[in-house]
A and B are shown apart, each in its own frame.
Chain A
Amino acid sequence: MTIPLDVEPAADQAAGPGDARSGGRSGGMARYALKKLGGAVLSIAMVIVATFFMFRLIPGDPAIAYTRDVPLSPEQLDLLRKQMGLDKPLLEQFLDFVLRTLRFDLGTSYEYKRPVLDLIGERVGPTLLLAGVGLVIAVSLGLWQGTRAAWNHGGRLDRFSTGISLVLWSVPTFWLGLLLLMVFAAGVGPIPGIFPTRGMEGVDAPDGFAYILHVGHHLVLPCLTLVAVVYAQYLLVMRSSLLDEIGQDYVTTARAKGLRDDEVRRRHAVPNALLPTVTLVFMHVGFVVGGAVSVETVYSWPGLGLLFYEAIQGPDFAVMQGTFMVLCAAVIVMNTLADVLYHVLDPRVRST
């Protein structure tokens, strides 16, 4: 397939000599990736520092706050304060915290009496399953519908899908989850409850291939909720970036060449409009994480979001702190990937 990127005069060619670009192509790429990597490391460092100081804001004795509901004698509390390093100066506590975090020691949960990292490890799988399937569906649906809406902008389909997106954007994720739970899991009136109300697997989970179907059955409603909330954004982004392309000269040229409408769209306009959209897909990962917390809570989906929610209920500060850092780090990594990917895909931004 020929990538019709060269159809449009590249911004850097118009701006200046092209030899700077062709000479340092691979070197520039590596330098760019390194710079972004440095930015990501700095961001994660900022997360660690912010976490330390944020969790110092907890009112009262941290030792008591961290072990809430676990009865401890004064001696045990003293020992715990020593273990947590609360008797040391703040700077030393801070350095301890940073060193432990860098060794992936996220502390111990007093609620579960287990290391936080183990708890997180158990919960990563279900979240990846839910968010992964949800994202793939939401992205394909959003891009497809967004393309159709933009190509026939002003038409009935356009107004309909823009309206739907606007409504979905206004709906809180958890409320949509509650509605779907009520209608399709509990059943309303003539509609029987056809999907499970909670969890990833029932007590009677079968083995083998049947197990996949069993989990898939549980996955339908949480996934549907996540998709509904997320896809609207992709639709709007794809629509507006395709609208920007439709007005460009190269589209007119392509039409003048006598290409069919479908070909103009598929081979010229859409690939160019995809670039900013792909970046935004990754940039919105933070939003997806927020949505996942709500969805997992409503459907008791045993992922990271539910762990985080349970930590807030406790409150189990050790788990909250660990999950927070892991979620933030994941989002930062995804964003950095998006930046680098954009750079690889779009020759126009390389010069800037």
Chain B
Amino acid sequence: MSATAGARRRTALARFWREYRRNRAGVTGGVILVVAVLLAVLTPLITDPAGLDVTRATGAKMAGPSLEFPLGTDESGRSVLLMVLWGSRVSLLIGFMSALLSMVIGTMTGIAAGHFRGWFGAVLMRITDWFLVLPQLVLALVLGAILGGGVSTIILAIGVTSWATTARLIRAQTLAVEARPYIERSKALGAGHWHIMTRHVLPNVAPLVLANTTLSVASAIVAESTLAFLGAGSGEVSWGGLLRGSYDWGAATSGAWWYILAPGLCIVAVVMAFTLCGRALEAVLNPRLRGVPR
């Protein structure tokens, strides 16, 4: 890689950062995300996982917020704050990993469907449309229930069911990129399918992929919490799992608001932060959207 290419990349990055910084919503979302990820990473260092053990719970059952338990306790006397902190690790992990999986499947399918126009592309689009139409949550629930609980199976269940929108988007972008003359030049010089897809199309769709992935982490976290609430969860402490516990123990009807609000607000805050970041990225990276009131 020549020095000029490196310099060009650096200026592009600097320009990107300058524009992103001007997007107030995007910066707010970014700050919330950094705090959430830091807390999730630091949790094992600042808290003791023994508090998650039902048999070693010290608090009163379903007690409201107090100095010792700032967010109250659950049905067996565990601190809700502690559970929310540990739950963030599983929720964020599943959110990131399943968005990553969905992005990989979606990008590969999208580029392939856009590049190979013949029957192969048609079959790929047919499958994509099929996944697009099916009720995503229902399919993920069935997969989660069949494969059994576990972090990796839930990642698989969410990732496999949520890639279709990405694939559609990437396919459209691929078609636009491949219509440009330099692709023709590249073909004339003897470039193969693989070279065109990885060296020309992929770098061009990458910004879009980034923005899209940020948005899919948001929906993956909602999906994870819903799966856990509906009883097809990973079996680990997660925000959705906590809400499941609150429902099973009648927190809503017995007025244990802390048990419902704490995990729920965490989900909403993180999901909104990802959405704001994704929209900001989209606005900065997609020149078509600049100046349009959206």
Option from B148, B230, B252 in Cβ contact (under 8 Å) with A309: B230
State A343–B260 Cα separation when bound (angstroms).
46
Indicate if B268 sits at the interface (CB-CB under 8 A). Answer: yes
Task: Give the size of the chain A interface in residues (CB under 8 angstroms).
Answer: 52
Check if A293 sits within 8 Å of B293, measured CB to CB. no
Indicate if B108 sits at the interface (CB-CB under 8 A). Answer: no
Give the chain B neighbours of A317 by CB distance below 8 A.
146
Question: Taking the nearest CB of chain A, how far is it from the CB of B151, in angstroms?
Answer: 17
Check if A46 sits within 8 Å of B130, measured CB to CB. yes
Check if A324 sits within 8 Å of B142, measured CB to CB. yes
Please report whether the interface of chain A is mostly helix, strand, loop or mixed according to DSSP. Answer: helix
State A313–B231 Cα separation when bound (angstroms).
6
Give the chain B neighbours of A129 by CB distance below 8 A.
none
Give the chain B neighbours of A42 by CB distance below 8 A.
126
Check if A286 sits within 8 Å of B135, measured CB to CB. yes
Indicate if B166 sits at the interface (CB-CB under 8 A). Answer: no
Check if A293 sits within 8 Å of B148, measured CB to CB. no
Give the chain A neighbours of B130 by CB distance below 8 A.
43, 46
Q: Which stretch, B38-46, B53-61, B221-229, touches the partner chain A?
A: B221-229
Indicate if B37 sits at the interface (CB-CB under 8 A). Answer: no
Indicate if B218 sits at the interface (CB-CB under 8 A). Answer: yes
Give the chain A neighbours of B230 by CB distance below 8 A.
174, 293-294, 297, 309, 312
Indicate if A91 sits at the interface (CB-CB under 8 A). Answer: no
Question: Taking the nearest CB of chain B, how far is it from the CB of A240, in angstroms?
Answer: 7
Option from A55, A171, A174, A324 in Cβ contact (under 8 Å) with B268: A171
State A186–B254 Cα separation when bound (angstroms).
7
Give the chain B neighbours of A166 by CB distance below 8 A.
272, 275
B218 nearest in chain A by CB position: A170
Indicate if A328 sits at the interface (CB-CB under 8 A). Answer: yes
Indicate if A3 sits at the interface (CB-CB under 8 A). Answer: no
Check if A174 sits within 8 Å of B254, measured CB to CB. no
Question: Taking the nearest CB of chain B, how far is it from the CB of A174, in angstroms?
Answer: 5
Check if A172 sits within 8 Å of B255, measured CB to CB. no
Indicate if A153 sits at the interface (CB-CB under 8 A). Answer: yes
Give the chain A neighbours of B260 by CB distance below 8 A.
175, 178-179, 182
Check if B138 sits within 8 Å of A293, measured CB to CB. yes
State A182–B264 Cα separation when bound (angstroms).
13
Indicate if A67 sits at the interface (CB-CB under 8 A). Answer: no
Give the chain B neighbours of A290 by CB distance below 8 A.
135-138, 226
Give the chain A neighbours of B134 by CB distance below 8 A.
47, 286, 328, 331-332
A286 nearest in chain B by CB position: B135
Known: A170-B268, A178-B247, A186-B252. 6 other contacts (CB 8 A): A166-B272, A166-B275, A175-B267, A185-B252, A186-B253, A289-B138
Interface residues of B (CB under 8 A from A): 126, 130, 133-139, 141-143, 145-148, 218, 222, 225-226, 229-232, 240, 243, 246-247, 251-255, 257, 260, 264, 267-268, 271-272, 275, 292-294
